[in-house]
Structure 1
Amino acid sequence: MRAEVVGAGGAEISLSVGGARHARPLVLVHGWAQSSHVWAAQFADPALAGRFRLIAMDLRGHGASDAPAGGYDDSRIWADDLAAVLEFAGPDPIVVAWSYGGLVLTDYLRVHGSAHIGGIVLAGALTEIGKGREGGRIGDAMRAAIPAALSADPEVAVPALTEFSTAMAAKPVPGPLAQALLGSCLSVPPSVRSAMFRRDVESAEVLAAIDKPCLIVHGTNDRVVAPAAAEYAAGKIPGAVLRWFVDAGHLPFVESAEEFNSVLRQFSGEQPK
């Protein structure tokens, strides 16, 4: 089912909600130029859906959420959007943040702290952004896509986004899913795609202050967010566990869905409720 919450500045943030109604929440945060639909394999897993309440947000400017003219370079706005989702979710959620979603999560932690979070999973995630930021190290597929993927000219952007969406996976994914990934890229306004990169965010102190259980999962063949970004986060977050998904790319929850869901169930089930 779909639901909405009111985020920063009155923007409506759209949610996909499933799973067990009164169970512990898993809040799923997607990445740049995607949507909540990337988590289809998690919503379809009866073992996850039977034990947890699944809540996947569409970031502002993405999917079915509002796309305000500005605010995409403001950490406070991203933080408050996620805060609204977590309030909807209820007590002690596990937050699963993928790709740019990891940056949104660090925005939240910087502004609101970790008191209302039960655990964190960073999946192929950025935790920083900006030139020389170790937590924002990108791979060759992301470097190749920029700046063309940010262009308002479809003759420039569409080929770049097509190549980028294909390069996200290191293992074959079903054709309809591959097209859906591209469709999500194209549905995000060029102004939003561009504005999200006009940031310089350092998160070393934020990561070092995390006092909740943290699991970091990353594909060894990720060409979008470099594996070095995962190593950086693991070195900063006290007690973080780093798990590599061998031969997977930027979509471990799709490419290795069964393994990913099993790891997620194990981690989430072990955290205090």
Structure 2
Amino acid sequence: MLTEVVGSGGVRLGLRVAGAERTPAIVLVHGWAQSSLAWSAQLADPDLAERFRLVAVDLRGHGNSDVPVEGYDDSLTWATDLAAVLDFAGAGAPVVLVGWSYGGLVIADYLRHHGTEGVAGIVLAGAITEIGRDRPGGATGPAMRAALPAALSDDPAVAVPALTMLSAHMAAEPVDGALAQALLGTSLSVPPRVRGALFRRKVDSGEVLAGIDVPALVVHGDADEVVDPSAGEYAAGKIPGARRRWFEGAGHLPFVERAAEFNDELRRFAEQLLPGASQR
């Protein structure tokens, strides 16, 4: 189901929703220059959809959401956007938050302003939690470093090859060709000014991560060439009691490359935290 909520400044945020309304919610937050389509393997999983309401958001400037001129460099804007999604998904009950890549930074923005209000647990998948030069929670891999700054250009002759190369290195293991092309198409559909604005931030999140007081699971592919695994290690080391799950041989898409394993991890994690999740 496609629907929407209204975020900061009246911006419409597109949502993809699966599962029953009266089940506990899992909110899925995608990465840079992507969309809720990235979570197709989770939204289509019958075991997850039976137990949980799955809500995947299109961040502002991405997918089916509005593309405002401003707000991409403002932590409070991202926090307010995500708060609107949590209000919709949880209807007053805590949710499990899952962030992939830049989605981890958006979750950190939310935590910076709202703490863990409305959050039962956090999953970081191939995620950054910081951004800016020499910030360990934002360490990038060789594929991302090679793609920048060309991937931010408004000249298609410059940006398209860079984004194509980056897309080709997203996964370390074969993924469905149609999905791979869809992810590339999504990257190309995000306006260059938005792609660039998301990188014009300098954010430290050490204190935010250290203050997390709900269970956390940090998932990373050890062959990730987009977000360096050290970014995941940094987050796992800062968050009190965080559990690590590294996928050997997987790249930046562990929830696609190892969908069954990832979904099983997510289901078990969420079942422990969300009262009312149906059990088999």
| TM-score, L = length of structure 1 | 0.99
Aligned with 1:216: secondary structure? strand
Deviation at 1:75, TM superposition (A): 0.6
Match of 2:196?
Answer: 194
- What one-letter code is carried by the residue in structure 2 that aligns with 1:265? R
Q: Which amino acid aligns with 2:133?
A: K
Give the CA RMSD over aligned residues.
0.6
Who is 2:70 aligned against?
A: 70
Letter in 2 for 1:56: A
Matched letter for residue 17 of structure 2: V
Report the alpha carbon displacement of residue 16 of structure 1 after superposing the two structures with TM: 0.3
Structure 1 residues 23-42: aligned runs within 5 Å: 23-42=23-42
Secondary structure in structure 1 of the residue aligned to 2:119: coil
State the Cα distance separating 1:272 from its structure 2 match: 4.5
Query: Using the alignment, how far apart are the partners of 2:175 and 2:2 within structure 1?
Result: 26
**2:253 paired residue number:** 251
How far apart, CA to CA, are the structure 2 residues paired with 1:215 and 1:99? 14
Q: Percent identity?
A: 65
Under a length normalisation based on structure 2, what TM-score does the superposition of the two structures give? 0.97
Name the structure 2 match of 1:148: 150
In structure 1, how many angstroms separate the alpha carbons of the residues matched to 2:79 and 2:163? Answer: 27
> Unaligned stretches of 5+ in structure 2?
276-280
Name the residue aligned to 1:261. 263
Paired residue for 1:217?
Answer: 219
| Moved >6 Å (runs of 4+) | none
Q: CA deviation at 1:271?
A: 1.3
Aligned twin of 2:278: none
- Separation (CA, whole Å) in 1 of partners of 2:117 and 2:8: 20
Letter aligned with residue 241 of structure 2: G
For 1:1-273, list aligned pairs within 5 A. 1-90=1-90, 91-273=93-275
Q: Distance in 2 between matches of 1:260 and 1:206?
A: 26
Which is further off, 191-200 or 14-23?
A: 14-23
Distance in 2, Cα, partners of 1:96 & 1:12? 21
Distance 1:22 1:37 in 2: 23
Question: Any idea what the Cα deviations from partners look like across 1:122-151, whole Å, max 9, x if unmatched?
Answer: 000000001110100000000000000000
